[in-house]
Amino acid sequence: ILLELIMLFKGFGLGLFVVLAAVLMLGTFASDYETFLKQHHDDPKSNVGNNYCNQMMQRRDMTRPRCKEVNTFIHETRNRIIDVCTDGGGVDIGNGFRNRFRVTTCKMIGKSTRPPCEYTENVSPRNIVISCKSLPMHYDEGQI
């Protein structure tokens, strides 16, 4: 398929093909980054009343069609989170970068993942692991 695409773009030049491929890859990275922000970024911490986790999980679409069992919200600026992916911004541990952030972890109460979803809340500053592809892409809940 790659060879066919190269032949298709031969008349336009290989440079155009490379530019289009880069744009497609950046679009994927941007999409992954936006998903990461939707699921994990909340700065400043939202004032949603008594049950932060129940409200935020619902607002961020993590309660339908199934309840997400665990999710962590990071209460730091986007720039500070992005810095984790740069030299000196985080400690490289092989599968991601570790740094200390203020976070709220929401854990589902009960075993059923069917709505309605109920969550407990743990607020603390702690080390977390973020996977990067120049931008944050994935928060590793298993690495605490």
Instruction: Return the active site residues.
Output: 40, 138
Torsion of CA 69, 74, 75, 78, to 10 degrees: -140
- Tell me the sheet residues that pair with 130: 97, 139
What is the Cβ-side half-sphere exposure of residue 43, based on CA atoms within 13 angstroms? 14
Tokens of 134: 């120049």
What are the Cα distances from residue 49, in Å, to 43, 52, 62, 64?
16, 6, 18, 21
Q: Which residue from 43, 38, 44, 39 is spatially nearest to 106, judged by alpha carbons?
A: 39
Q: Measure the CA–CA gap between 35 and 138, rounded to whole angstroms.
A: 9
Q: Measure the CA–CA gap between 89 and 26, rounded to whole angstroms.
A: 22
